[in-house]
Structure 1
Amino acid sequence: MPPPDPQTAPLRQLHRRSWIPLPEWLLHYQRQWIRHDLTAGLTAAAVVIPNALAYATLAGLPIEAGLYTAFIPMLVYAMFGTSRVLSVSTTTTLAILTTSALAEVSQGAGGVTLLAAAATLGVLVGAMLLVASLLRLGFVANFISEPVLVGFKAGIAVVIFVDQVPKLLGIHVAKGEFFYNVAHIVEGLPRTSTPTVIVAALALIALIVLRRFVPRVPAPLLVVGCAIVASRLLDLHAHGVETVGAVPAGLPAPTLPVFALAHALWPIALGMALMSFTETTAAGRAFARHGEPTPVANRELLATGLANLAGALFGAMPGGGGTTQTAVNRRAGAASQASSLVTAAVALAAMLLLSPLIGLIPHAVLAAVVIVYSIGLFDPIEFRAIARVRRMEFVWALVALAGVVVVGTLQGILVAIIVSLAALAHQISDPPVYVLARKRNTDVFRPLSAAHPNDETWPGLLLLLPEGRIFFANVQHVGLKMLKLITAAAPQTVVVDLSGVFDIEYTALKMFADAEQRLRARGITLWLAAMNPDVFAMVQRSPLGEALGRERMFHNLEQAVERYCTTVAGQTRDPR
């Protein structure tokens, strides 16, 4: 961190004397950051506020909930978060999950009930994040693998697209499961509103062109602004283009949760808490520059928990760090969390001054914003990259995608977590075992391969390398693989290189001890090499260590090979 500005010395003194600690970034704030933070905050607001308005309509909430979401969570995170540039409001993923959650508990309900349900959901998400912070569960976000997350987000993109198509067409469709929605959209095509389609098409084209060719221009703000002007001048509502309508001005009123809904909302709230933290952490880490503090996982849980809790009590949607808006904030030059305070101030100004203009926005334009900024969640290049590296993980990504589309976003989170855990179980239950050879004229050992036909091996000596933790869940697989390789090679001596094994359990030690006895009965000697200190200590304390003795345990493979060549094979080097 750079040295503190002398101008902030009074703040540091106040921090030491106050019962309320000031944010760390404020204590070290530098005057030269002001211009960058102001520019970045204004630029980010041009993206955050239109998106938040669109996400509020996506969730079926009053549109002002989008303004509250761009204000309160942003403000709270700036005070408690550890990422300098993270922009926190809501995200596409969280918006569609909020939509699904509210649909489950508020079928046909009015705005007041929807706001109460949203407040309950936000309080649950915030409380879960706070509890996770107290329990230091920041590592839990790593339990959703990247391929599964890619598939999950792709499924979200598909669901959002289908959900927003009726608004692009100007038709009303009773919502249900994914395929039900698709069928009813097809049935409703004859009722399509031509003026609405024209407005939607122009908005889509403008958003895509601006993002593609003028990425520095705040496309959502420009398109929404033009839509407001067109709506006023052309009286689009009179031509059948639905608009947002009246939006109340002023500060958000307190919204109390309805805890009677908690029993129905807590499962999705748990999934949303996980997704909020996962997206927040990923965005914060992705845009942290060299020399800046890396986001601290458990502190991020605290910050996002407080942001959700405070936001929920004042009408905001559940939120987290958004990748798109954080990217805009970073590109615009944000130097600290002060940029988020600027964004929050712009949202506040919009609440107080711009409500009449917001009411003129066509729903089709907001739907276009949602689609353009969510379609990127479906990234064919990511799927292709996963398939090229590992086919099985590509299958996991497809399963996660299908889980969201077929069984719904609520159950899709569960599918994603189950698939991730199943993938983890598969990986740890079947670790690889390699036969090693030495690169000629070096001390480098690598897996025996037809690509390296000149690598050294020795008659009667088999070098094996298992990788990963060896314990009760995979010891049988490891044992069978080794036995198969030993049977095929028929060696005099087997050296097991344990450099790739960071932990070995009692069950595995017993397996090795039993195997040592059986191999000895067949005239085959077992040696161990390259153990880390913990593994070496465990081996020494076990019957295996007693059976081997120190003379059959080596610091590294080179030492074991030299011992074999000089004492067993009776030669210094006779590679074949």
Structure 2
Amino acid sequence: MRSATVKKALGLQDSPHLHGKNVPAYESDPTVLEWLHDVFPSMGQVGEYFVGLLPFMRWIRHYNFQWFLGDLVAGITVGAVVVPQGMGYAKLANLPVQYGLYTSFMGVLIYWFFATSKDITIGPVAVMSTVVGSIITDVQKKHPDIPGPQVALSIAIMCGSIVTFMGLARLGFIVDFIPLPAIAAFMAGSAITICSGQVKQLLGETASFDTSTSAYQIIINTLKSLPTSQGYDAAMGVTALAALYILRSGFNYGARKNPRFAKLFFFLGALRTVCVILVFTLISFAVNHHRRKDPAFALVGTVPLGFGHTGVPVLTGDVIKLFASKLPACVIVLLIEHIAVSKSFGRVNNYTINPSQELIAIGITNLLGPFVGAFPATGSFSRSAIQSKSGARTPFTGIITACIVLIAMYTLTAGLYYIPKATLSAVIIHAVGDLIVPPNTIYQFWLISPLDAIIFAVGLIVALASTIPNSIYATVCLSVVVLLFRHAKAPGHFLGQAWISDRNSERPLFLPLDETEANPSIKVDRPRPGVFVYRFSEGLNYPNAGHYLDNLVQTIFKHTRRTNAEAYAKKGDRPWNDADSSDKDVSHLPVLRAIILDFSAVNNVDVTCVQNLIDVRTQLDRRSAPVPVQWHFANVKNRWTKRALTAAGFGSAPLQQVASANDDKARSDVEKGSVDMSVSSEVCDKPTEDGPRPFFHPDLTSALQKVDEYLALYPAE
């Protein structure tokens, strides 16, 4: 019974002709029906899919008071931070500050239903807000009559629809195609651009210039406009920024010097933004309470109470056309920041997120958010770090945070009026400053992979000289080009055989000849004369098949001679491109006998690469005529690859000796090596009229043994 189960798992069938202790069995070829069965989900998998759309159902039944305490502390801490940050990020999006509160509320309220991370908090973020702000500015330059909130809510709905579809289709793996250097360049370039755009308001400059252009233009215009700075605004901005950094440094120093109070210092540090906003708002209130019509410095102004913009958002095709070209950049920003943040916190806190489910979470958030006035939102790195360190136990933390934001929207709006705009700019600069990649990280990129460091540099330069979306496109496209080039030009290796001692025995080890030649301490036996062992390093498919096989043919031509030197009756019959010219002595070179291809790195093949193999076989058969070349394939793991090779004329399905699992003697014979467990064709040693049939082998050792047997039976003349 056990033997039958093993055979079924391996896709093997008993031969109708042979019976006994060691039953030969044929590995059946895969079929299209089998492929369809693997592609289409079963009813059980469909059920798991729908249950997985609401992950909270798995843990909510086990919710307890201890978890609630952790979530309560984390939720209150994050809520205190998200209120001022949300207002600041709304200004980045060129929207009234209340839209930041709407976005903060909806992000944390909806996410917990779909979350697979306990640490992530969704809401307005600096980079996405900047992209939305630039789109609003571009649209209003052409159509001043279109209000900014309408554009922002339309962007949220479109991005939410796209991301939700990607999540439902389980396309979360797409994020894996965006490498770390591209993400780092995007984040650093965005941070510098955001900081440079906030300096104008930080210093209270009255000169009029566009802060949505490229970073270098903003920096130049800011420096030119320094004489127009207002003293009171600059005082409220610069001192607030200095206070934020001084408080952070002080609390970090205190935590290092007094580890017992590290938790206390952490919470104080997390609340530093709230403290600074509160202090400077009180100062502003004292200064401007009796002069609201003519304040001494710029204030946030009136913030409507509660939800003043609820309703069905206006979505028109004309508005969508105006920003349609920017949608890919918006979607990429949503994906990059959220998935990168959630994966990093999952690794730190020992759990695994589901990228596709996370896409559903941010997609649904951006679909429903606009109904209460929320603009595009995604995962925030800074607030997620605070939530993680505050002791969040479950995604339910978002409900606590939503309650804090709701309380602020209905009770604190009068006080929000007096927040200085310069102080709000200081909060933004302080929040995004940590996104800038430190120099030691860039140097680490250079040490690991200089190409990745170059990609980072290109992305950063494009972000500063052009726009953030262009930086995303440049780094992603450049990374894809590098990936394709590495794949297309992947180096194949000719292998030799070395022997390593293992206790009292020796076992073979196959090493690349081009690498071992540089190390004389490694003794490598080259394959038999006229035999070549070749390994594909990064798969075999249409981009790299030509490169691999050209290298294979050129090396074989260089190290072998034609079997029949008199193949051309006349000198003029020789092709112009024949490498074996008549005046070159190649008699010392062996004739080509066999080729062993190591498919350990090959998962599947396509029509193009199989056709290239056929062309190479024809080309080499001419060289070895009248005896065709022996072809052997080792480490072929994929049954579809075997089927493809067989269908292309490289032989019939392999025959495998399978020892009966219930026969102790048979198992003993296998362990002693007296039973050949190699996968090979039925009787393929002797060439047939149609040419030799290949062998399929489980490893290179058995393949080389079969070649040795063939050479012993049919030595070269």
Question: Which region of structure 1 is more displaced relative to structure 2, 71-80 or 439-448?
Answer: 439-448
Note the 1:56-455 alignment, pairs <5 A.
56-107=90-141, 113-172=147-206, 173-175=208-210, 177-178=213-214, 179-214=216-251, 216=266, 217-218=269-270, 219-235=272-288, 240-254=296-310, 256-259=313-316, 260-288=318-346, 294-379=352-437, 380-438=439-497, 440-441=499-500, 442-447=507-512, 448-449=515-516, 450-451=518-519, 453-455=521-523
Q: Quick one: percent identity of the two aligned structures?
A: 24
1:98-134 deviation line (CA, Å, top 9, x unaligned): 1111111124999991222211111111122223234
Structure 1 CA distance, aligned partners of 2:609 and 2:55? 51
For residues 441-462 of structure 1, give each alpha carbon's deviation from its aligned partner in whole angstroms, at most 9, with x where no partner exists. Answer: 1444344342574142325354
CA gap 1:444/1:367 in 2 versus in 1, 3 angstroms: farther
Farther-moved stretch of structure 1 (139-148 vs 87-96): 139-148
The yes-or-no answer on 1:545 pairing with 2:651 is yes
- Name which of structure 1's ranges 234-243 and 387-396 shifts more when overlaid on structure 2: 234-243
Kindly provide the CA deviation profile for residues 244-270 of structure 1, in whole angstroms up to 9, marking residues without a partner as x.
Answer: 122222234215234231111233234
Structure 2 Cα separation of the partners of residues 170 and 437 of structure 1: 72
Counterpart in the other structure of 2:638 = 533
Counterpart of 2:619? 518
Q: Does the Cα contact within 8 Å between 1:77 and 1:304 map onto a contact in 2?
A: yes
Q: CA deviation at 1:234?
A: 4.8
Contact 2:128 2:330 in 1 (8 A): yes
Paired letter, 2:647: R
How far is 1:317 from its partner? 2.1
Q: Specify which structure has the bigger relative contact order, considering alpha-carbon pairs within 8 angstroms and separated by 6 or more residues.
A: 1
Question: 2 CA distance for matches of 1:440 and 1:197?
Answer: 74
Residue pair 1:68, 1:252 contacting (<8 A) in 2 also = no
Residue 94 of structure 1 contacts residue 319 of structure 1 at CA under 8 Å; is this kept in 2? Answer: yes
Q: Indicate conservation of the 8 Å contact 1:439/1:446, yes or no.
A: yes
Write the deviation string for residues 119-154 of structure 1: whole angstroms up to 9, x where unpaired.
111111112222323433323323323222222222
- The aligned counterpart of 1:560 is 703
Contact 1:150 1:382 in 2 (8 A): no
- Give the C-alpha shift of residue 78 in structure 1: 1.5
Query: Which amino acid counterpart does residue 533 of structure 1 have in structure 2?
Result: N
Letter paired with 1:427? R
CA offsets, 1:215-268, max 9 Å, x none? 512132222222223323455997853221222222342152342311112332
Cα distance in 2 for partners of 1:189, 1:323 equals: 32
Measure how far apart 1:396 and its partner are.
2.4
Please list the CA deviations of residues 401-455 of structure 1 after superposition, one character each: whole Å capped at 9, or x if unmatched. Answer: 3333333224334334433433343233222312334554144434434257414
2:541 aligns to what SS in structure 1?
Answer: coil
State the SS of the aligned residue for 2:651.
helix
Task: Please say if residues 630 and 693 of structure 2, whose CA atoms lie closer than 8 Å, have aligned partners that are also in contact.
Answer: no
The CA RMSD measured in Å over matched residues stands at 3.0
1:37 aligns with 2:71: yes
> Distance between the aligned counterparts of 2:241 and 2:692, measured in 1?
74
Q: Residue type matched to 2:280 in 1?
A: A
Going from structure 1 to structure 2, the CA distance change for 1:359 and 1:488 (only over 3 Å counts) comes to farther
Please say which of residues 300-309 and 238-247 is displaced more in the overlay: 238-247
The SS at the match of 2:307 is coil
Q: From the CA coordinates, give the structure whose radius of gyration is larger.
A: 2
For 1:30-56, what per-residue CA distance to the aligned partner results, in whole angstroms no more than 9, with x for missing partners? 232011000111112233222212111
Task: Render the CA deviation track for 1:3-32: whole Å, top value 9, x for unaligned.
Answer: xxxxxxxxxxxxxxxxx9974432332232
Structure 1 position 548, deviation (Å): 7.6
3-state secondary structure, aligned to 1:495: strand
- CA deviations on 1:283-328 (whole Å, 9 max, x unpaired) are 2222226997633333322221121122222122200111221121
Q: Whole-Å Cα distance in 2 between the matches of residues 569 and 235 of structure 1?
A: 101
Q: Which runs of 5 or more structure 1 residues have no equivalent in the other structure?
A: 1-19, 571-576
Aligned with 1:544: secondary structure? coil
**Aligned partner letter, 2:158:** L
* Change over 3 Å in CA distance of 1:88–1:548 after alignment to 2: farther
CA distance in 1, matches of 2:390, 2:284: 30
CA 1:438/1:35 → structure 2, altered by over 3 Å: closer, same or farther?
farther
Inter-partner Cα distance in structure 2 for 1:206 and 1:487: 74
TM-score (norm 2): 0.71
- Which stretch shows the higher mean deviation, 166-175 or 21-30? 21-30
SS at match of 2:495: strand
Q: 348-357 vs 126-135, which deviates more?
A: 126-135
Distance 2:548 2:637 in 1: 19
Matched residue type, 2:407: A
Q: Is the 8 Å Cα contact of residues 650 and 694 (structure 2) preserved in structure 1?
A: no
Structure 1 residue 565, shift from structure 2 partner:
5.4
Counterpart residue identity of residue 168, structure 1: L
Question: What is the deviation of 1:347?
Answer: 0.6
Aligned residues: 551
Greater share of helix residues, 1 or 2? 1
Give, as a single letter, the amino acid of the residue that structure 1 aligns with 2:314: P
Distance in 2 (alpha carbons) for counterparts of 1:59 and 1:214: 31
- In structure 2, the CA distance between the partners of 1:55 and 1:90, relative to structure 1 (3 Å rule), is same
Q: Distance in 1 between matches of 2:485 and 2:111?
A: 38
Q: Distance in 1 between matches of 2:88 and 2:371?
A: 21
Distance 1:365 1:453, change over 3 A: farther
Which residue pairs with 1:507 in the alignment? 608
| Aligned-partner residue type, residue 553 of structure 1 | F
Give the residue type in structure 2 aligned to 1:354: L
Per-residue CA distance 1:196-222 (angstroms, 9 max, x = gap): 333333222332334345251213222
Distance 1:482 1:411, change over 3 A: same
Write the distance in 1 (CA, Å) between the matches of 2:177 and 2:558: 38
